[in-house]
Amino acid sequence: MTTFAGKNVLITGSASGIGRLMAHKIAARGGNVILWDIDRPGLEALSDQLERWGYRAAAYHQCDLSDREEIEDTARHVLAEQGDVDILINNAGIVSGKPLLELSDDAIRRTFDINTLALFRTTRCFLPGMIRKGSGHIVTIASAGGLIGVPRMTDYSASKFAAVGFDESLRVELKRMGYRDIRTTVVCPYFINTGMFRGVKTRFPFLLPIMEPDDVASQIVGAIEKNKARLIMPPFVLSLFPTRLLPPALFDHVVTFFGINHTMDEFKGRG
């Protein structure tokens, strides 16, 4: 079991959404939360709230996760001021929600910088400390969109497919190198009602509900505590794996029947 008590837990994208909720839950479990986000007012409000409640929190708001130098510079400050990071939760992510031909090169690059390359950059900063201590936990918040591609999500799905591959390769690499007490967890949730995916719809909500943030955050924190290597939610998303054996045309038909290919038709996002 991974315990949060007395551990330095760094959460990217923690000013809002499930990042903020995870910070609440982990701080309540005795974790020393280290908060990263580009949203300075949101991060300061969260940090002040946690400190009023008697929890330990350190906010770092001058870190744009699309910028490698800012990640490395902020990581140096964290290591100097807070010590080694015991649990790294790569939670930050963005979505464009546009068809491929409407995406600019800058938008595509930013999606990959934040959703994918930031995973490599933060992990490279904090993994050496975990290796020295002989323990640690790296959490990748990916997406069900990293298991299946749908219209208007070419950049997002590709970035999250890469995130799933990053986690899987890192997990087996650490085992191969003998670091079996450095755990990894990949999280693949369906759409979450945080505003990031405002406007998405689901055809069969009893099978594929738009998930509530507090429930998702609780499940993620529980999965980390139990050292689960993979958390996919809701359970119906697991049906994607056997359907991958179908011919592509039949696979597409099944996915369309369940409404997945129409989920983004009325996407608005945060604007």
Active site residues: 156
Please tell me whether residue 202 adopts helix, strand or coil conformation.
coil
Phi-psi category of residue 199: left, alpha or beta, with phi > 0 → left and psi -120 to 50 → alpha:
left
Tell me the backbone φ, ψ of residue 57, rounded to 5 degrees. Answer: -150, 140
Strands in 125-208 per DSSP E: 136-141, 182-189
Site of tokens 């649990």: 87
| Class of residue 205 by CB neighbours under 10 A (exposed 0-12, middle 13-18, buried 19+) | exposed
Half-sphere exposure of 94 (CA within 13 A, CB side): 18
Tell me the backbone φ, ψ of residue 35, rounded to 5 degrees. Answer: -105, 125
- The CA–CA distances, whole Å, from 58 to 69, 213, 264 equal 20, 23, 36
- 211 has which bridge partners? 192
**C-alpha span between 239 and 209 (Å, rounded):** 15
Residue type, 139: V
Of 228, 235, 112, 107, the C-alpha closest to 163 is: 112
Cβ–Cβ under 8 Å, residues 59 and 35: yes
Please tell me whether residue 190 adopts helix, strand or coil conformation.
coil
**C-alpha span between 6 and 111 (Å, rounded):** 34
